[in-house]
Amino acid sequence: MNAIFAVNDIDGFGVDNTMPWPRSPVDLRRFRDITQGHTVVMGASTWLSDMPKPLPGRRNCVLSTTLVDDRCEVFRNITQLMMSLQQDEKTFVIGGATVLWALRNYINKVYLTRHHCNQRADITLNTEEYLRGFKIVQWQQLDNLTLDTYERVDYTQ
């Protein structure tokens, strides 16, 4: 399982059910290119955010005990979700922060975009803690973004 998400310089993850930075065509294209044709897993708040529903060209899975929506597959718990995934199915956890933490032990690779800004956020994600047990294997610095890829090296974290 993989994770793909973005934060700003102060670990801001979300504000008012959207991203706390201007939309970046580079970041959005990276997200699309990496997840296209695969499974994405998210929480109900991410599903209900201002993203297209469902994300086209992907299997859309939502972890929620209350959501009812026939445009996605809803799983009431992690066990149900894991039982529905095929062994070779490429899966990306895309948010929110609670779902990223809940599935962290299953994550082997993290695609992280760092937006170099410090806009206010009402949801943060402590990336230093989240990435404990991972090592950086690739990074690309752009004007206002850093695109990082991490792989798990320590499975005891």
Q: Give the chain's domain count.
A: 1
Q: Is 157 a member of any domain?
A: no
Helix, strand, coil percent values for the chain (each to nearest 5) = 25, 35, 40
Name the burial class of residue 96, with classes exposed (0-12), middle (13-18) and buried (19+) by CB atoms within 10 angstroms of its CB: buried
Q: Is 48 a member of any domain?
A: yes
Q: What is the CATH number of the domain that holds 106?
A: 3.40.430.10
| 89 and 2 Cβ atoms separated by less than 8 Å | no
Q: Is 144 a member of any domain?
A: yes
Closest CA to 49 of 29, 32, 67, 65: 67
Phi, psi dihedral angles at 55 (to 5 degrees)? -65, 120
Strand partners, 107: none
Q: Is 130 a member of any domain?
A: yes
Q: Is 119 a member of any domain?
A: yes
Look up tokens 């299953």; give the residue: 106
The predicted structure's pLDDT at residue 136: 98
Model confidence over 11-58: pLDDT tens digits? 999 998 888 888 899 999 999 999 999 999 999 999 999 889 999 999
| 90 and 38 Cβ atoms separated by less than 8 Å | yes
- Determine which helix (DSSP H) or strand (DSSP E) holds 10, and give its type and residue range: none
What whole-number percentage of the chain has pLDDT above 70? 98
d(CA 60, CA 121): 26
The predicted structure's pLDDT at residue 68: 96
**Residue-range definition of the domain harbouring residue 24:** 2-152
Q: Is 82 a member of any domain?
A: yes
Q: Is 30 a member of any domain?
A: yes
Model confidence over 44-55: pLDDT tens digits? 999 999 889 999
